[in-house]
Amino acid sequence: MDSLVEAIEGSYNGHPKLVLVVGKPGSGKSKLVKEYSHNTGIPIVDFSKVLTDDQHDLKTTMKEFLKNYRFDVLLIDNKAALYDALNDDLKNVLDDLAKKVTVVATWNGYINEGNLAHIVNGDEVLYPLDGSFEYVLVQ
């Protein structure tokens, strides 16, 4: 929990505003985010309730959602609704959201050889550890 709190607090002081909670399935990513939510009172956003079937532009939808969002941190766990709505790479969407609010999202993957791996439906996508995000490893 301490490393997550530290990463989030760092986002208020000029560090990246995207914090990924990285781990393989069953590692405790969701548990960590739920514990943070419980301790702070910040809800975990259920995007299945934010997104509707007739929305074609996820970024516009999220921009509208954030207009009424009252917290400094956006907690995202189950991203199934986001995957369904994506016409873009998930990291690009999270980067876009992090321009407006600190985003904490669970991330199914791992860190290896200077890269962040994301595993979705058995496929692996690699992103360089380029300083555009913070991460907390859960093992």
Q: What Cα–Cα distance (Å) separates residue 113 from each residue in 1, 71, 87, 117?
A: 25, 35, 28, 10
Q: Which domain holds residue 94?
A: 2-137
Q: Which amino acid is at 50?
A: V
102-132 pLDDT per residue, tens: 999 999 999 999 999 988 777 888 999 999 9
Token look-up 């986002």 returns 11
* C-alpha span between 19 and 98 (Å, rounded): 9
Report the domain count for the chain: 1
Cα–Cα distance list, 132 to 37, 71, 127 (Å): 24, 22, 10
CA 117-121-123 angle, 5° bins: 45
Q: What is the pLDDT of residues 58-96, one digit of tens each?
A: 777 888 888 989 999 999 987 776 766 665 678 888 898
Q: For residue 26, give the DSSP letter.
A: T
Based on C-alpha coordinates, what's the Rg of the chain?
14
* Cα dist from 76 to 4, 44, 105, 113, whole Å: 14, 6, 5, 26
- What amino acid is encoded at 52 in this protein? T
Question: Which pTM value belongs to this model?
Answer: 0.89
Q: Residue 13 carries which side chain, given as an amino acid letter?
A: N
Question: Does pLDDT of 139 surpass 80?
Answer: yes
Averaged pLDDT for residues 41-46:
92
